[in-house]
Amino acid sequence: MILTAKYAEIYDGQIKVLEEKFTNLLKDAKPDSLYDPCKYIITSGGKRLRPFLVLISAKAAGGDFAQAYNAAVAVELLHNFTLVHDDIMDKADLRRGRETVHVKYGLNPAILSGDNLVAIAYKNLILDCRINITEILNEFTCGLIEVCEGQSYDTDFETTDDVSIEQYLLMIRKKTAVMAEMCCKVGGLLATTDHSIVDALGNFGLNLGMAFQIQDDLLDIMADQEKFGKKVGGDLVEGKKTFLYIRALEKSEGTDREKLLEVTRNKGIDWNDVGFYRNLYIKLGVIEAAESEIKKYTEIALESLNKLPETEARHTLEWLANALIKRAK
């Protein structure tokens, strides 16, 4: 418990530093029509997991937090760019309990501010690059490309009836896991030229990202609603093809299969039916299947860290992986 508190304190301390940087980042930038939407999204909170991965990876690779702050800011700006554009594509009204950027400021300012965040991200990324500059830029750019590919796959799934688990895993790998991989590799590259260390950090991030997304799928239907912070069952209500839904469809037959097919035919379900589908998932064994996948990817992530020196930063990464798979249960 003491160690857990110690690593949580490291995380909280660095998040506090990052929040101050985001508050001051665009403080005097003009014109307001461009920068007000940018400030709105980057100061809207969130776990700040991705920038923390950059910081703690740099530390685990033998560097320090100070040399990675600008790159950490860069990856969070990139992440927020994806959120702005995802919300536009999804026609979402709320993000983190607030109006989405395109709802508050309009569609055109939202698109432009999202584009601007990418440019500012690149500007910040290169500020502290002293070594491996080409590789850092390559990892960052390839991460952005794959996120766009993942979003495109996700959009395709909305009009595809027969999505397989393999297709779904590829989608979340690109849309979610590659970003975590990129954060860890960029952090490592800021601090070392030892590519075995960088690759180990990248493998940790990739598999952590896979576990994180499947855990999100699981929490959406099985979480304690008060701890989760929002109504459970939202993925089913929106008709999303998650790990659990696809696995349930594969395992089902007869009436059960027909009820599952209704989710996509009707483009979602009523909130009152969430309990029925939760029980159906339990009956079909997909809750255990999801838990098994989460455990598998988390174990691979943790095994990757065995290639790193045994330091406080490495133990913080281990703590983070375990904390993420235990969240909001």
Please report the pLDDT score of residue 4 as a whole number: 84
Q: Where are the domains of the chain?
A: 2-325
The alpha carbon of 50 is separated from its chain's Cα centroid by a whole number of angstroms, namely 7
Cβ atoms 232, 225 nearer than 8 A: yes
Q: How far apart are CA 220 and CA 151, in angstroms?
A: 20
Q: pLDDT, tens digit, for every residue of 217-238?
A: 999 999 877 666 668 899 999 9
pLDDT of residue 284: 98
**pLDDT tens, position by position, 44-58:** 988 999 999 999 999
Give the homologous superfamily in CATH for domain 2-325: Farnesyl Diphosphate Synthase (1.10.600.10)
How far is the C-alpha of 153 from the C-alpha of 162, rounded, in Å? 13
How many CB atoms neighbour CB 295 within 10 A? 13
Output the CA torsion sign for 99, 102, 103, 104: positive
Helices (H), 43-68: 49-60
Between 96-100, 114-118, 274-278, 323-327, the lowest mean confidence (pLDDT) is in 323-327
What integer pLDDT is reported at residue 228 of this predicted model? 65
**Mean pLDDT, rounded, for 94-116:** 95
